[in-house]
Structure 1
Amino acid sequence: MTEFPGAPTGPSPIDAAGGRRLRVLAAMSGGVDSAVAAARAAEAGHEVTGVHLALSANPQSFRTGARGCCTIEDSRDARRAADVIGIPFYVWDLAERFREDVIDDFVAEYAAGRTPNPCLRCNEKIKFAALLDKAIALGFDAVCTGHYARIVDLPTGERELHRAVDAAKDQSYVLGVLDADQLAHSLFPLGDTTKDVIREEAERRGLAVAKKPDSHDICFIADGDTQGFLAKHLGTATGDIVDADGTKLGEHDGAYGFTIGQRKGLRIGRPAADGKPRYVLDISPVDNTVTVGPAEGLDVLSLTAIRPRWCGAVPAADGRYTAQLRAHGEEVPVSAAVVDGELRVELDTPARGIAPGQAVVLYDGTRVVGSATIAATERRSVNA
């Protein structure tokens, strides 16, 4: 790995218009989005340095299709993009921190019967904690990423996080963990642009990653086999699959292999009495039991979320907002309030398949209010 030599030297330059020229650390994954974001930051007159985060202790040489984003090939793509842009480039080894804060957390959450979002945790713990903290310590003013989200600067000097213009690419949900201080040191140059325009711009700039497939799924599970990955870490633990009244319907090899709302792969021999499909309603790591039932048993009426993080002011008591409850879920109208340090959310209409461990992100229009981790849900009775 190439070591970073230190902070920029000399006073921060001032551009011709009298505004401050920022010293920007651009996180470059090796994909088209982060490359164009770095190019835009440099074109805006900022002093940009590119950095690729090595997050795997034993990176593969090449990507497997569009899965993952931490291979040696990706680091080389990022370096080539930095050369075209004309900015310095370095590789930072954050593999140990990533393993502790993201991978180990991911495994522990599944072992506890919860459903984590590793991308959200990576933003919270790696890109806007470990990376940003190191950047500030080295004299940089901001971290720039290729996330699709917008930052709005207010006359008061405060900043707001908003949804991206391209709703299909919007990533504000996984950025809802950022607090006001982190927003003050963040740049998201792509938030006002659609993905098609970004690829066209990359072509014009001569960036070889212009047609590179987007990374998706979980970057540290390159083959996409989440259950296999968890089995390697947690082993096999045979348990029962039961219905709501406790009747045994089948067996499983590990409760961690299931998520709330799952329908496929249940391996239940007998059909339901009403002939309708059954879904995972509950996962109990204590007795290693998975409970299944009808779809209406997934209807969530309210929820309690812990460890709230606010992008600005704490929500007012009994405030009206919309909430996004999954990474690709729809917004739903809610009432929300902070009670004893926890976020209590009442849904106007029931939402299905909401699992502890997922994040609830509150919005006021397009503005991100904040995020919290779902700890418990109140659901409609199966017999209702």
Structure 2
Amino acid sequence: MKLPTRDAISLKCSKSKCDFDLGSVTGLWILVESASRLFKWCLVMSDNSQKKVIVGMSGGVDSSVSAYLLKQQGYQVEGLFMKNWEEDDNEEYCTAAEDLADAQAVCDKLGIHLHTINFAAEYWDNVFEYFLAEYKAGRTPNPDILCNKEIKFKAFLEFADEVLDADYIAMGHYVRRSFPENGEKPQMLRGLDGNKDQSYFLYTLSHEQIARSLFPVGDLEKPEVRRIAEEQGLITAKKKDSTGICFIGERKFTEFLGKYLPAQPGNIETPEGEVIGQHQGLMYHTLGQRKGLHIGGRKGGGGNEDPWFVGEKDLKRNVLIAVQGKDHPMLKSEGLLASQLHWVDREPIRDVMKCTVKTRYRQEDIPCTIIPIDDENIKVIFDEPQIAVTPGQSAVFYKDDVCLGGGIIEQRIKYSQA
């Protein structure tokens, strides 16, 4: 086991005596400080050695480094690989076998045991059926958020707790925890790496779940995570990050969704009612979308050559409304209505509150005002109109770095130029 050292101290030891090259009062102070830190470090290591952590091993670099860091901190570390999807086991899009092999290789390298568990049934019932129902209703859901809620921090936590006797679980998410000194409930903070922060996807966690969860890479930036993996010889060091919805993989979204929901083609119209094209199904489009309309090059009224965007979905008529220009008023929203609320501290917001909100991942924070309607519904007014606020997506709220919670966007409040 390597102990921390300080270059300013020269320690010369023999069997008979140890000579400390202090040099000055400063040297003595450094020695005392180093000894104090070493003592505290040993206490932490001793305390952690009594704690068992089950790490969600995905076969990626973030979970790999998480397991390594926890082992370095003295925890009893074991891995657990989840399989959440079985529909496409024999197709080229499924990477489960490769991911499991990588997870096993990392665990072998670190000298930790890897368990496996199949949550495919739970995933289908609690995530995928909701995903299909939302698309069928013309909305755009985010299944990754629901997967975190129902699988990674519920089914996984329950299995780790009840079967593997874990004190904590750990994931490779880029978020941090905070424990206020006044004894208040633990909080979830954004990850240190602003480009990788994943608090948007974890807003449904409760303070109880946060207290039981460790996020070792939350205090690191992604390049540092890869550097650690490479230094430790982990097979995942240069593995490409997964992108998109996990069960769709790299295949075309329309191809996948068409396997489960019948498409209903219809007209694409301008706000004035002129038919300018055909869509293959409203479920394939989302508000603010530009690509995939297949009406590029078509001029609007007065020879307008601005690009076309999805401005609205008329579910009753099965019509897609397209508008020109990213600043078209139909694309803007003054606010939103949200339901299915979840607050990290489990306390509903009952007073008007200023904060910031994200209505999609990687979006810049939007200053806003939350106006409670009741414990299950809120109205949110933006300080400035926003583009492409999409029903079915999540609105997630923040105070500085603290993630407060969020809810599902039920309706956007359309922009009024009056």
TM over 0.5, shorter chain: yes
Q: Where do 1:1-12 residues align within 5 Å?
A: none
Structure number with the bigger relative contact order (C-alpha 8 A, sep ≥ 6) is 1
Distance 1:287 1:62, change over 3 A: closer
Amino acid at match of 1:26: V
Residue 333 of structure 1 aligns with an amino acid whose one-letter code is: P
Q: Distance in 1 between matches of 2:76 and 2:255?
A: 44
Cα deviation code 1:72-118 (max 9, x no counterpart): 01001001111112211111001122222222222221121111112
Deviation at 1:250, TM superposition (A): 2.2
What fraction of aligned residue pairs are identical, expressed as a percent? 33
2:331 is aligned to: 298
Of residues 173, 191, 207 in structure 2, which corresponds to 1:147? 173
**Contact 2:131 2:141 survives alignment (8 Å):** yes
Q: CA deviation at 1:324?
A: 0.9
Q: Report if the CA contact (8 A) 2:45-2:73 is conserved.
A: no
Note if 1:358 corresponds to 2:384. Answer: no
One-letter amino acid of the structure 1 residue matched with residue 321 of structure 2: T
Number of the residue aligned with 2:268: 241
Residue 27 of structure 1 pairs with residue 52 of structure 2: no
* Number of corresponding residues: 366
Comparing 261-270 and 81-90, the one that deviates more = 261-270
Give the Cα–Cα distance (whole angstroms) in 1 for the partners of residues 162 and 314 of structure 2: 44
Moved more, 31-40 or 231-240: 231-240
1:78 is aligned, of 97, 103, 110, to 103
Paired residues of 1:303 and 1:374 also in contact (CA < 8 A): yes
1:221-255 deviation line (CA, Å, top 9, x unaligned): 12341112112211231212222233332222211
Q: Deviations over 1:198-241 (max 9, x none)?
A: 11111222211111111111221123411121122112312122
Q: Secondary structure at the match of 2:58?
A: coil
Q: Is the counterpart of residue 334 in structure 1 residue 368 in structure 2?
A: yes
Q: CA deviation at 1:63?
A: 7.3
Q: Residue 126 and residue 279 in structure 1: after superposition, are their counterparts in 2 closer, same or farther (change >3 A)?
A: same
- TM-score after normalising by structure 2: 0.82
The CA distance in 2 between the partners of 1:287 and 1:227, in whole Å, is 21
1:265 is displaced (CA, Å) by 2.2
Q: Is the 8 A contact 2:310 2:323 kept in 1?
A: yes
Cα contact 1:35–1:78 (8 A) shared by 2:
yes
| Alignment correspondent of 2:341 | 308
Matches within 5 A, 1:129-140: 129-138=154-163, 139-140=165-166
Q: Assess if the C-alpha contact under 8 Å between 2:195 and 2:362 holds in 1.
A: no
Alignment correspondent of 1:223? 250
The answer as to 2:317 corresponding to 1:287 is yes
**Change over 3 Å in CA distance of 1:61–1:145 after alignment to 2:** farther
Query: Which ranges of structure 1 fall in alignment gaps of 5 or more residues?
Result: 1-13
- Aligned residues of 1:63 and 1:73 also touching (Cα < 8 A): no
* AA of the residue aligned to 1:90: H
Q: Counterpart of 2:237 in 1: which secondary structure?
A: helix
The match for 2:301 is 273
Q: TM-score, normalised by structure 1?
A: 0.89
CA contact (8 A) 2:45 2:74 kept: no
Of 312, 318, 328, the residue aligned with 2:352 is 318
Aligned-residue offset at 1:267: 2.9
Q: Give the match for residue 369 of structure 1.
A: 404
Gaps of 5+ in 2: 1-42
Tell me how large the CA RMSD over aligned residues is. Answer: 2.2
| Larger Rg, first or second structure (1 or 2) | 2
CA distance in 2, matches of 1:170, 1:35: 18
